[in-house]
Amino acid sequence: MKILTIIGARPQFIKAAMVSRAIVERNRRGENPTVAEEIIHTGQHYDINMSDVFFRQMQIPEPVVNLNAGTGMHGEMTGRMMAAIEREIISRKPDWVLVYGDTNSTLAGALVAAKLHVPVAHVEAGLRSFNKRMPEEVNRILTDHVSSLLFCPTHAAVDNLSKEGITSGVHHVGDVMYDAALVFGEIAAHSSTILHDLDLTPGQYYLATVHRAENTDNPDRLRNIINAFNVLEDTVILPLHPRTRKILQRVFPSFLSPHSSLRIVDPVSFLDMVELEKSARCILTDSGGVQKEAYFHGVPCVTLREETEWVETVEAGWNQVVGTDPEKIIVAVRQARAGTPIDEYGQGNSASNVLQLIKNIKS
């Protein structure tokens, strides 16, 4: 059996790492049929700290090709990916195309495979923010509707698909990101030096990430976020995506005030990010994946969006969704505390569940 895995962005590298490890382990045990995996990297994230380092640190098999299709507007980028992916699928003749999450890479791979009548398996299916202004929401809806196997991380995701009439091929498998948190959290504790390098004390700093277009492309929202960061009592560590840094420098040149608690750093490697997450007092983010990673590491989260697809983290008290109003952000951070356990994400065997289901279904 041949699986063609299509990835292009940080969250997908992490998820794919766990399934790739499950494939290697299964083949090592000599189980039949042998599973061959080929990875296509679309190039959606092309900064070395956001791409190449991930492959080395997480021991993901090297991609068979990098499409270098990571620039341009959404339509241009997605179209360029689709043209290149189509050639690769026709040439490589996979039994399954495996996609992850909700990026342009996800949608491009799913649409091309469906049009070529190659079955699509979607890891992290069924998530909904119910905000179609988010490109990610459009990507995940379309991907789910052309997929043959839909691997849901939560029961809410299964329910979302059912409400859209999708019931065939739907499986609650847990969350492969939880698998990754268990594996790489332990590795980071022994190998990362980021706390020493940045002179940080565990529990005495905040960690922030800001990258979504709804925040970075809106000067008022971005200014509100930075203003909130500037007045928090503890240091705010912000590993800043190069694109966001350029926007800040253009529209908000004074974002680092003389008495600011905000500390901008370059994008960090995967294991360093894990260590920063584990040791933070609180995490502030507009990322979907980082919300969950906060919970996995037992750290409260403040989400800088108007909604979240990870509703269970809010219901359990780990996550507060506050938007970008500075006062709401500051109050939420001061109120942030641990919540109750979430029994949704599995026992660290989600990647094995994914592989087992693909193996058991003839393409």
Q: Kindly report the backbone phi and psi dihedral angles of residue 330, in degrees, each rounded to the nearest multiple of 5, phi listed first.
A: -65, -45
Map tokens 């997480």 to a residue.
58
Q: What is the mean pLDDT of residues 262-276?
A: 92
**Domain-wise residue ranges, the chain:** 2-175+346-360, 183-335
Least confident of 42-46, 52-56, 147-151, 213-217: 52-56
Least confident of 109-113, 224-228, 242-246, 352-356: 242-246
Q: What is the pLDDT of residue 55?
A: 66
Q: Which residues pair with 36 in a beta bridge?
A: 2
The reply to whether 183-335 shares the fold of 2-175+346-360 is yes
What CATH number was assigned to the domain covering residues 183-335? 3.40.50.2000
List pLDDT tens digits, range 46-81: 555 545 666 676 767 888 999 988 778 889 999 999
Q: What is the mean pLDDT of residues 12-28?
A: 91
Mean pLDDT in the chain? 92
Q: What is the pLDDT of residue 50?
A: 47
List pLDDT tens digits, range 102-149: 999 999 999 999 999 999 999 999 999 999 988 999 999 999 999 999
Tell me how crowded residue 301 is: count the other CB atoms within 10 A of its CB: 29
145 is catalytic: no
Asked if residue 256 has pLDDT above 50, the reply is yes
Residue count of the chain, please give it.
Answer: 363
Q: Sign of dihedral through CA atoms 185, 188, 194, 199?
A: positive
How far apart (Å, rounded) are the C-alpha atoms in residues 155 and 173? 9
Nearest to 215 by CA among 240, 178, 184, 190: 240
Least confident of 166-175, 260-269, 311-320: 260-269
Q: What is the pLDDT of residue 250?
A: 84
DSSP H helical ranges for the chain: 10-28, 52-58, 74-92, 104-115, 135-146, 155-163, 176-191, 194-197, 213-216, 219-231, 242-251, 270-279, 288-296, 311-315, 326-335, 350-360
Which residue is catalytic, options 155, 196, 211, 241?
A: 211
CATH level 3 topology of 2-175+346-360: Rossmann fold (3.40.50)
On whether the pTM is more than 0.85, the answer is yes
List pLDDT tens digits, range 292-346: 999 999 999 999 999 999 999 999 999 999 999 999 999 999 999 999 999 999 9
Q: What is the mean pLDDT of residues 27-51?
A: 80
Q: Kindly report the backbone phi and psi dihedral angles of residue 149, in degrees, each rounded to the nearest multiple of 5, phi listed first.
A: -120, 130
